Amino acid sequence: MCGMLPSTELALLRRLAQDQSTCRVPSMVAAVVREGEIAWWGARGFVDGVRPGADTQYRLGSITKSVVAAEVMRLRDEGKLALNDPLDKHVSGTALGSSTIAQLLSHTSGLTAESPGSWWERTVGEGWEALDTSLATGAIKNRPGSRFHYSNVGFGVLGEVIARHRGTSWLDAVTAEVLTPLGMSRTTPHPEGAHANGFAVHPWADTLLPEPSPDAGAMAPAGQLWSTVTDLARWTMFVGGHSNGVLDPSTVAEMREMVTVDDGDQWSVGYGLGLQLIRHQGRRLAGHTGSMPGFLACTLIDPATQTGALLLANTTSGAPILQTTIDLINLTEELEPRLPAEWAPSPVDPKLLPLTGLWHWGPTPYHLRLLPDGQFWLTPATGSGRASRFRQQGDDSWIGLDGYYSGETLTVGRDADGVPNHLDLATFIFTRTPYDPAAPIPGGVDPAGWRSSGGPGLA
């Protein structure tokens, strides 16, 4: 654990103490992570008369969904499924078979929010067959793909997708392939060892009511897991890109990409593939909140700065966990701003250097820069316009990674001497000089070339 200034630690603890006191929470624990380490953690309140520690378990609630999503993405990366596959291809015969895996991950499947029957969070759950039967009619509430509609049921369905492919329970698969490699040994389906009990706090009196925490059965992938500050810090770092081989960092980055917006015109809250996304004061945060009877939880990280925060509390409602977690990140960045990374030269493939520099799409200048990881970055020289990164997939072939050209192919064209003289990007031709007549410009280049006016003789 890396330390912080005493003044910063006091400010963070005060923010935590403010919520625990004013929101009347039996206990709260929180932490800040920076650059792959816990930088600070603190606790307020008591669990069985003792201050909770970094190893005290709390229920995660819907943060479980992100862990399940990571296992689904492992299946995708292994080629066992595609995100655009309909559910029917992997779990056939359901009433929701046309919804895709990506739609289930991003809450755009149109599926009902809650499982039919009793309130699943306070009821002992049944198996997949019972859940499937309960969804036989009326389960689709919106046209698939049309809008964001949070669905706990959707992750119960994804748990069954995992089970079918792994030949074991979703929990065994997640434990073996996600939790264990990340060192999250204190993340379990039920409390083990030191743990907080869940409570509801009376709205008009300072008294508590114990909340139940049954096994949710087939709905468990939506919110079953318990964890600790130490383990959840590891998960927070995972979301930020410290994936420890569980997923390629590019896949985690894909999970963090906005798929759908949750708050209409504001565009401040959205959802990716199993991850909640927040835009706040210029930051783009990724993570998830969690809520189960007796518990609230939140984890967020800014991948750009690698500063994140997490919070766990044993109360049913009343604490602004999302805002508090954001505040912990903001306090950290304000009081101890992250220094820019030191520049140092990096190994460069000399064969790529001739591709760098100034190119033109028609009359518009662009810069092609070689990044330290061997990728290319194409940006408008003016700073505004379409920009994308590209990863090499062949000698003269590159694939777009983001922006307008995501997934599109960039091909290097060469003259008879092998010198690069144009780039073909999704049919757009970039040349070293504007409309170079030696390049295959669609429609050709006027043989008279550039001129001083657009008057007579231009036709």
Question: 258-293, pLDDT tens digit by residue?
Answer: 999 887 777 889 999 999 999 998 899 999 999 999
User: Is there a domain that residue 453 lies in?
Assistant: no
**Average of pLDDT values for 285-311?**
97
Q: Which amino acid is at 358?
A: L
Domain residue limits at 49: 6-335
156 and 290 fall within a common domain: yes
Least confident piece of the model among 32-46, 70-84, 170-184, 255-269: 255-269
pLDDT at 459 over 60: no
CB atoms within 10 A of CB 361: 19
**Percent of residues, the chain, with pLDDT higher than 90:** 87
User: Is there a domain that residue 346 lies in?
Assistant: no
User: Is there a domain that residue 447 lies in?
Assistant: no
Q: What is the pLDDT of residue 120?
A: 85
**Average of pLDDT values for 332-359?**
93
**Average of pLDDT values for 241-265?**
91
363 and 295 fall within a common domain: no
- Of these ranges, 111-120, 323-332, 341-350, the one predicted with the greatest mean pLDDT is 323-332
Q: What is the pLDDT of residues 101-152, one digit of tens each?
A: 999 999 999 999 988 888 888 889 899 999 999 998 889 899 998 999 999 9
pLDDT at 72 over 90: yes
322 and 382 fall within a common domain: no
The overall average pLDDT reported for the chain is 94
Supply the CATH number for residue 396's domain: 2.40.128
User: Is there a domain that residue 361 lies in?
Assistant: yes
pLDDT at 455 over 70: no
The band of 1, judged by pLDDT with boundaries at 50, 70 and 90, is low
174 and 245 fall within a common domain: yes
327 and 371 fall within a common domain: no
User: Is there a domain that residue 162 lies in?
Assistant: yes
73 and 202 fall within a common domain: yes
User: Is there a domain that residue 325 lies in?
Assistant: yes
Supply the CATH number for residue 296's domain: 3.40.710.10
**Of the residues 285, 308, 335, the one at which a domain ends:** 335
328 and 383 fall within a common domain: no
**Average of pLDDT values for 194-199?**
97
369 and 318 fall within a common domain: no
pLDDT at 457 over 60: no
Give Cα 311 to chain centroid, integer Å: 18
319 and 405 fall within a common domain: no
- Residue at token pair 């066992």: 80
315 and 383 fall within a common domain: no
322 and 375 fall within a common domain: no
**Percent of residues, the chain, with pLDDT higher than 70:** 98
pTM higher than 0.85 for the full model?
Answer: yes
Q: What is the pLDDT of residue 341?
A: 84
Q: What is the pLDDT of residue 119?
A: 84
pLDDT at 210 over 80: yes
Q: How many domains in the chain?
A: 2
**Average of pLDDT values for 64-91?**
97
356 and 283 fall within a common domain: no
**Average of pLDDT values for 385-390?**
93
